[in-house]
């Protein structure tokens, strides 16, 4: 008789080793990838590089002494692997370097058959990301530099001054100065550099390719997807913002740089479109890239475009395909098709887009394909699903797909998984009219009640009249439909993202379900992967359709014989946090209402207060007006304006380093609930951002989450609460 398996818990979740994007050797026989392991005791993670055979054989660890070895990429000749790392400096015990390590990430090289890795060159300003040159003797890398300075010595001197300064103030006149959880390097911009390797170690030469020019890469995530090196090694193409003032919503153009002369030519620019992710075709005569028509609408998807060298013109080739194209792009060897990932109905597949016929087909279905590489006809994919974390799979011509690692199989084999189901319900009707401006000028408890009635009515008729809406369910291990179970809504962020067949470490559906909840995840109006019309339907009326979808899902759930109507909960992060705050002001609390308690992680509470975020330039497009031009329009979509109706118990969680949804929003929500006498609890992390990234903090996060739900669960609290009426 097989041993009984335990449900997945938070301790096991942090024992899972996490794989990153693979890079294939030129012959396709081996892949290299970084693998990160976490220690709850040490409260940190360490990464190393592993070699994985696509032909068979056990994985082999390649690096051991680095803490954050990452971004591995095979050289064009297959003789070396480059990667970024912060490593101990060379030298013996008596050396000045003993006990020290790189201040900034550096480029390292290692032979695939093993041996010691060595630093390619010392880059004082550090290395953000890189690509190999076609000759295998050069690399192009990204580094943040002071644009007014010339030469590596000047950059090094300024870096020394910066690190020795006693002032802590951040001073800027820039419109864009921070991103997600960090300030952009003060006074610095991202430049491309050419590193030419010498015949011996330490003989490398470095040249700033943008020095003395106005050009720079994106100030947000200036990585390898921002540029490419031509197959002949003579040119590189990069995306840049031509606007003099750089803003979070800048529209990028493409330029080509001749490496020998340094000459830069703008090759593709459109004032209404945003370009990115350029990739050369195998013959170098075309460049594929993504293009989004931002002048038409800020929600327009990134589409596939191709620039022709001979004609000196570009064209969007996927205009008739209603999907968003994700970077990176990868040309097939014959130059007739491109590979990329794109979402479809709560899954992310690897697609092949045929250029002559302008037709897309799924090459590898999700789950969720997160990364891939292809060389010499061999394809390797990195993918996860709701039932398992990332796995690496080789796809060889004429052979069935085959796993090439089993890093987490033994661990996960000891735990039971919950069943995952996909359902479709009738939600809101996107064609329905939103409330008029006059009705929302002075939100009040009466106004909230009126809206609640409207929502209830819409949800009640949704079964026959609304749009199809996807609903994912995850059941507890050992689920028995004859028993009663609590239901937990997990509402995704974005809003223009999706919850689907995907593994998530902060909102892990298997860990949640293991606590005995049936998990419900609604891909409400506004979600990605269902076409642009569905995604754009909530623009200028946030909260309205989404709430009707969630309520329609709850109606459907309460019709299931296993759902306990006294034990319905809702939680969400970011825009999902916005949604549970919105629900608190629009759905009656117990005993009249249906939700026993909420959990709001990093939630948007006040759209005026949100102007402190790192993406403020999008607000008018999202809401329909700047708050100073039409305060009623901002308040109509802002949970704080309906605080007078909030009375449902809420756990508020926020991180101080969250710049996308500043922590003042979470504190204001918590303080509001406390001032109103609503049962509330705050979990505030001074050292976390929009996500919870440290193992110990994650354990605390899950513990507080589950304790809060248990406290408001009538079954687990001994049914001491007053009976509640379901609807």
pLDDT digits (tens, 9 = 90+) for 493-512: 999 999 989 999 989 999 99
Are the CB atoms for 512 and 488 separated by under 8 Å? yes
> What is the per-residue pLDDT for 437?
34
CA atoms 98, 104, 107, 111: torsion sign = positive
Query: What was the pLDDT predicted at 1?
Result: 55
Residue 590 tokens read as: 């117990």
Mean local confidence (pLDDT), 377-389: 97
* Confidence band, pLDDT 50/70/90 cuts, at residue 446: very low
Instruction: Kindly tell me if the per-residue pLDDT of 662 is higher than 60.
Output: yes
Q: Report the pLDDT averaged over residues 242-248.
A: 94
Q: What angle do CA 82, 85, 89 make, to 5 degrees?
A: 110
Indicate whether 412 pLDDT > 80. yes
pLDDT band at 589 (very low <50, low <70, confident <90, very high): confident
Q: What pLDDT score does 438 carry?
A: 32
- Write down the pLDDT at residue 706: 97
pLDDT above 80 (res 439): no
One-letter-per-residue 3-state SS of 621-684: HHHCCCCCCCHHHHHHCCHHHHHHHCCCCEEEEEECCCCCCCHHHHHHHHHHHHHCCCCEEEEE
Please report the pLDDT score of residue 719 as a whole number: 42
- Give the closest residue to 151 by CA, choosing from 208, 216, 192, 209: 208
Please compute the mean of the pLDDT values over residues 633-638 and round it to a whole number.
Answer: 97
Residues 6 or more apart whose Cβ sits within 8 Å of residue 260? 234
Closest to 100 in 3D by CA, of 85, 89, 84, 109: 89
Mean pLDDT of 630-647: 97
Give CA–CA dist 31/326, Å, rounded.
22
99-121 average pLDDT score = 91
Contacts of residue 679, Cβ cutoff 8 Å, sequence gap at least 6: 649, 650, 673
pLDDT of residue 726: 34
Residue 158, SS3?
helix
Reported as a single tens digit per residue, the pLDDT across 288-334 is 999 999 999 999 999 999 999 999 999 999 999 999 999 999 999 99
Give the pLDDT score at 64.
87
Percentage of residues of the chain with pLDDT beyond 70:
91
Q: Token pair for residue 276?
A: 């990115």
Structure tokens, 46: 């360490």
- Which one has a higher pLDDT value, 90 or 674? 674
In this predicted structure, the answer to whether residue 445 has a pLDDT above a threshold of 60 is no
Tell me which residue of 368, 598, 371 sits closest to 505, measured CA to CA: 368
Res. 97 pLDDT band, cuts 50 70 90: low
pLDDT over 90 (residue 434):
no
What sign does the dihedral 211-215-217-220 (CA atoms) show? positive
- The pLDDT assigned to 101 comes to 86
Scored b (16 or more CB within 10 A) or e, 329-349 reads bbbbeeeebbbbbbbbebbbb
Question: Average pLDDT in the 169-196 region?
Answer: 96
- The better pLDDT of the pair 726, 145 is held by 145
Q: Are 225 and 327 in contact (CB under 8 A)?
A: yes
CA distances from residue 323 to 274, 278, 372, 393, 496 in whole angstroms, order as listed: 16, 19, 19, 25, 13
Give SS3 for 455.
Answer: helix
Q: Taking 60 as the threshold, does the pLDDT of residue 151 lie above it?
A: yes
Alpha carbon separation from 39 to 16, 63, 283 (Å, rounded): 10, 18, 47
What would the two tokens of residue 161 be?
């001054």
Closest CA to 508 of 713, 727, 701: 701
Dihedral of CA atoms 61, 64, 67, 70 in degrees, nearest 10, equals -40
d(CA 252, CA 246): 10
In order of 142, 466, 575, 583, 585, the CA distances from 551 in angstroms are 47, 12, 17, 10, 14
Q: What's the chain's average pLDDT?
A: 92
If pLDDT is split at 50, 70 and 90, which confidence band does 720 have?
Answer: very low
The pair of three-digit structure tokens given for residue 620, joined into one six-digit string: 């008018």
- Angstrom distance (rounded) from CA 166 to CA 74: 42
Contact 319, 313 (CB under 8 A): no
Encode pLDDT of 44-92 as tens digits: 999 999 999 999 989 999 998 667 899 999 999 999 999 999 998 865 4
Mean pLDDT value across residues 363-369 = 97
- For residue 181, the model assigns a pLDDT of 94
Residue keyed to tokens 């700033």: 208
Q: How far apart are CA 129 and CA 205, in angstroms?
A: 18
> Quick one: DSSP state of residue 321?
S
Nearest Cα residue to 685 out of 700, 665, 703: 700
- For residue 231, pLDDT beyond 70: yes
Q: Look-up: residue for tokens 């789950």?
A: 367
Q: Find the radius of gyration of the CA atoms of the chain.
A: 26
**Both tokens assigned to 485:** 């179970």
Residues 6+ apart with CB under 8 A from 675: none
**What pLDDT is recorded for position 201?**
60
Number of Cβ within a 10 Å radius of residue 168: 5
* pLDDT at 457 (0 to 100): 45
Of the candidates 580, 569, 582, 508, the residue with the CA atom closest to the CA atom of residue 717: 569
User: Which of 60-64, 201-205, 322-326, 573-577 is least confident?
Assistant: 201-205
Both tokens of residue 169? 């103030």
Give all domains of the chain, ordered by start, each with its CATH number.
415-711 (3.40.50.1820)
| Cβ–Cβ under 8 Å, residues 74 and 24 | yes
Task: Check whether 450 has a pLDDT greater than 80.
Answer: no
57-61 long-range contacts, CB within 8 A, separation 24+? 59/404, 59/405, 59/407
Q: Work out the average pLDDT over 395-408.
A: 96
**Of residues 9, 201, 209, the one with CA closest to residue 107:** 201
Determine if the pTM surpasses 0.85. yes
656-682 burial code (b ≥16 CB/10 A, e <16) = bbbbbbbbbbbbbbbebbeeeebbbbb
pLDDT score of 98? 52
Say whether pLDDT at 253 is over 70.
Answer: yes
In this prediction, residue 92 carries a pLDDT of: 43
Helix axes 445-465, 544-558, angle to 10 degrees: 60
Scanning 394-476, the segments in alpha helix (DSSP H) are 409-412, 445-465
**Is 691 in contact with 7 (CB distance < 8 Å)?**
no
- pLDDT for res 200: 65
| Strand ranges inside 40-155, DSSP E | 44-53, 60-61, 70-74, 81-85, 106-110, 118-119, 129-132, 138-145
pLDDT of residue 52: 98
Mean pLDDT of the 593-605 span: 96
The answer to which of 94-108, 560-574, 585-599 has the lowest mean pLDDT is 94-108
């Amino acid at each position: 008789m097989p041993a009984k398996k335990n449900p997945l818990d938070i301790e096991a979740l942090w024992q899972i080793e996490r794989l990153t994007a693979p890079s294939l050797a030129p012959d396709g026989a081996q892949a290299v990838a970084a693998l990160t392991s976490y220690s709850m005791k040490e409260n940190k993670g360490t990464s190393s590089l592993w070699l994985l055979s696509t032909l068979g054989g056990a994985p082999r660890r390649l690096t051991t002494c680095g803490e954050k070895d990452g971004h591995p990429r095979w050289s064009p000749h297959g003789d070396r692997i480059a990667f970024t790392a912060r490593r101990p400096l060379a030298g013996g015990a008596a050396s000045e370097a003993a006990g020290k390590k790189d201040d900034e990430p550096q480029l390292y090289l290692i032979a695939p058959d093993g041996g010691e890795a060595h630093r390619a060159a010392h880059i004082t300003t550090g290395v953000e990301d890189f690509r190999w040159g076609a000759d295998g003797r050069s690399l192009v890398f990204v580094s943040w530099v002071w644009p007014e300075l010339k030469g590596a010595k000047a950059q090094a001197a300024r870096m020394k001054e910066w690190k020795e300064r006693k002032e802590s103030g951040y001073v800027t006149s820039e419109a864009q100065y921070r991103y997600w959880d960090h300030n952009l390097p003060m006074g610095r911009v991202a430049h491309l550099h050419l590193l030419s390797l010498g015949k011996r170690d330490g003989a490398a030469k470095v040249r700033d390719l943008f020095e003395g020019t106005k050009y720079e890469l994106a100030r947000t995530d200036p990585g390898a997807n921002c540029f490419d090196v031509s197959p002949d090694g003579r040119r590189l193409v990069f995306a840049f913002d031509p606007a003099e003032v750089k803003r979070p919503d800048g529209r990028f153009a493409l330029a080509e740089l001749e490496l020998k002369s340094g000459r830069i030519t703008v090759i593709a620019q459109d004032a209404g479109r945003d370009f990115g992710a350029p990739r050369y075709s195998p013959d170098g005569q075309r460049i594929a890239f993504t293009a989004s028509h931002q002048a038409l609408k800020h929600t327009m998807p990134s589409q596939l475009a191709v620039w022709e060298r001979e004609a000196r013109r570009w064209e969007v080739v996927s205009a008739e395909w209603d999907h968003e194209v994700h970077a990176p792009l990868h040309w097939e060897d014959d130059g007739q098709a491109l590979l990329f990932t794109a979402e479809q109905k709560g899954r992310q597949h690897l697609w092949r887009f045929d250029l002559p016929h302008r037709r897309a087909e799924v090459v590898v279905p999700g789950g969720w394909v997160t990364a891939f590489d292809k060389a010499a006809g061999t394809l390797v994919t990195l993918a996860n699903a709701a039932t398992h974390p990332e796995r690496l799979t080789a796809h060889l011509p004429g052979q069935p797909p085959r796993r090439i690692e089993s890093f987490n199989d033994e661990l996960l084999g000891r735990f039971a998984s919950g069943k995952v189901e996909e359902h479709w319900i009738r939600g809101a009707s996107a064609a329905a009219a939103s409330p008029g401006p006059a009705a929302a000028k002075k939100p009040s408890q009466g106004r909230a009640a009126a809206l609640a009635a409207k929502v209830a009515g819409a949800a009640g008729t949704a079964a026959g009249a609304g749009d199809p809406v996807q609903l994912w369910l995850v059941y507890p291990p050992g689920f028995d439909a004859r028993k009663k179970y609590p239901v937990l809504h997990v509402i995704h962020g974005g809003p223009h993202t999706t919850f689907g067949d995907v593994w998530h470490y902060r909102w892990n559906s298997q860990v949640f379900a293991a606590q005995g909840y049936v998990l419900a995840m609604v891909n409400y109006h506004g979600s990605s992967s269902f076409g642009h019309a569905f995604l754009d339907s909530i623009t200028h009326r946030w909260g309205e359709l989404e709430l009707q979808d969630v309520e329609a899902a709850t109606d459907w759930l309460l019709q299931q014989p296993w759902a306990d109507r006294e034990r319905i909960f809702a939680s969400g992060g970011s825009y999902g946090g916005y949604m549970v705050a919105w629900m608190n002001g629009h759905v009656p609390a117990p005993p009249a209402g249906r939700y026993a308690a909420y959990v709001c992680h990093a939630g948007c509470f006040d759209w005026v207060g949100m102007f402190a975020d790192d993406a403020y330039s999008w607000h008018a497009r999202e809401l329909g007006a700047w708050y100073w031009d039409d305060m009623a329009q901002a308040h109509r979509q802002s949970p704080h304006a309906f605080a007078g109706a909030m009375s449902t118990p809420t756990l508020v969680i926020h991180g101080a380093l969250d710049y996308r949804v500043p922590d003042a929003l979470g504190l204001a929500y918590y303080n509001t609930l406390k001032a109103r006498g609503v049962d509330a609890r705050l979990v505030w992390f001074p050292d976390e951002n929009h996500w919870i990234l440290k193992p110990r903090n994650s354990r605390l996060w899950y513990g507080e989450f589950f304790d809060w739900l248990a406290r408001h669960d009538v079954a687990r609290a001994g049914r001491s609460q007053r009976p509640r009426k379901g609807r």
